[in-house]
């Protein structure tokens, strides 16, 4: 199979699908989420899929029978993509407050920062930040940022198809994960600096991933995104999720959305939390 075909397949599978269903907030019933989880179980359990993501990081149990080795440390891999999701896909640490069921397609759902913010930090700003038909970002919003690494001879690029190389069709993936809360504070972290990348020891690296937000929680899982709410993801991913939240200047996030190496201009939707132990790895 040609590499470009594989790249298109991976890109379509890994990056969350954007269902343009309108920008008005919505909150589907619990029954809708229950049906989606039932469909996921029906389409995934006992069909050879590996453990799935995202998950509750405090839930250690899991009995998915597919076992794969954890990927190397990210410093021994190539950074190939950075993207973000509005609200955290994972539940744990300082992001355990459920945002609600959302619109059923991955928006207005997920988990948000449980700490307190000042009125200054949440003060409205008079500009659009990373707008899209489902709504952009606003002061006080939570985002989960995925720094995706590959064992392929890959380089930072557009979509996760960039994580493949001409000579490697089945690379290992590791996602270094940091949850941020975007605030109206010019003294908060600069997203441009947080996403800066370059060559280090002959590897493409994200140079400023936070190292003071707790020991990352590692587990074996899959790719995420709402396109997998009702079917399993076939991709194997080693996750490394930091439990503490960092604050980032919302205007710097907006500036990043206007132009970056990854051609990312908005925050993606989130996949329903995977709660079925048969779909999870043991931690």
Based on the structure, what is the number of domains in the chain? 1
How far, in Å, are 58, 179, 222 from residue 164 at the CA level?
A: 32, 26, 16
In a domain, 217, yes or no: yes
Note the Cα 35 to chain centre separation in Å. 23
In a domain, 6, yes or no: no
* CA–CA gap between residue 49 and residue 165 (Å, rounded): 24
pLDDT along the chain (283 residues), means of 10: 39 40 67 98 96 97 92 97 98 98 97 98 97 96 98 91 83 98 98 98 97 98 97 96 98 98 97 98 95
Specify the pLDDT at position 170: 86
* CA–CA gap between residue 171 and residue 156 (Å, rounded): 15
8-state DSSP, 274:
P
In a domain, 239, yes or no: yes
Phi, psi of 278 (to 5 degrees): -70, -10
Counting beta carbons within 10 angstroms of the beta carbon of residue 263, is it exposed (0 to 12), middle (13 to 18) or buried (19 or more)?
A: exposed
In a domain, 184, yes or no: yes
In a domain, 138, yes or no: yes
The reported pTM is 0.91
In a domain, 46, yes or no: yes
Specify the pLDDT at position 248: 98
* CA–CA gap between residue 185 and residue 250 (Å, rounded): 8
Phi, psi of 192 (to 5 degrees): -60, -40
Three-state DSSP class for residue 194: helix
Specify the pLDDT at position 183: 98
Cβ distance 277 to 61 under 8 Å?
Answer: yes
Note the Cα 177 to chain centre separation in Å. 7
In a domain, 150, yes or no: yes
Tokens of 44: 């995934």
In a domain, 190, yes or no: yes
Which residue range(s) make up the domain with 234?
A: 30-279
How many CA atoms, within 13 angstroms, populate the side-chain half-sphere of residue 103? 19
Cβ distance 111 to 95 under 8 Å?
Answer: yes
Specify the pLDDT at position 5: 35
């Amino acid at each position: 199979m040609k590499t470009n075909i594989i790249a298109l397949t991976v890109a379509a599978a890994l990056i969350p699908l954007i269902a343009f269903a309108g920008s008005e907030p919505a909150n589907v019933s619990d029954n809708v989420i229950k049906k989606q989880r039932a469909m996921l179980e029906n389409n995934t359990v006992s069909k050879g899929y590996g453990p799935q993501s995202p998950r509750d990081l405090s839930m250690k149990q899991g009995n998915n029978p597919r076992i794969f080795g954890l990927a190397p440390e990210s410093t021994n891999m190539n950074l190939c993509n950075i993207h973000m999701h509005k609200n955290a896909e994972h539940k744990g640490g300082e992001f355990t407050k459920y945002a609600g069921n959302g619109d059923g397609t991955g928006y207005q759902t997920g988990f948000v920062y449980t700490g307190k913010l000042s009125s200054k930090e949440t003060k409205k700003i008079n500009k659009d930040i990373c707008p899209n038909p489902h709504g952009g970002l606003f002061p006080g919003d939570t985002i989960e940022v995925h720094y995706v690494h590959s064992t392929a001879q890959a380089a930072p690029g557009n979509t996760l198809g960039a994580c493949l190389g001409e000579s490697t069709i089945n690379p290992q993936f590791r996602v270094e994960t940091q949850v941020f809360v975007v605030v109206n504070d010019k003294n908060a972290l600069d997203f441009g600096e947080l996403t800066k990348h370059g060559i280090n020891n002959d590897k493409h690296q994200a140079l400023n991933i936070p190292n003071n937000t707790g020991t990352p929680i590692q587990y074996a899982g899959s790719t995420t995104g709402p396109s997998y709410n009702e079917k399993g993801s076939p991709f194997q991913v080693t996750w490394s999720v930091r439990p503490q939240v960092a604050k980032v200047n919302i205007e710097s996030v907006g500036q990043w959305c206007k132009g970056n190496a990854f051609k990312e201009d908005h925050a993606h939707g989130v996949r329903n939390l995977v709660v079925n132990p048969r779909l999870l790895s043991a931690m």
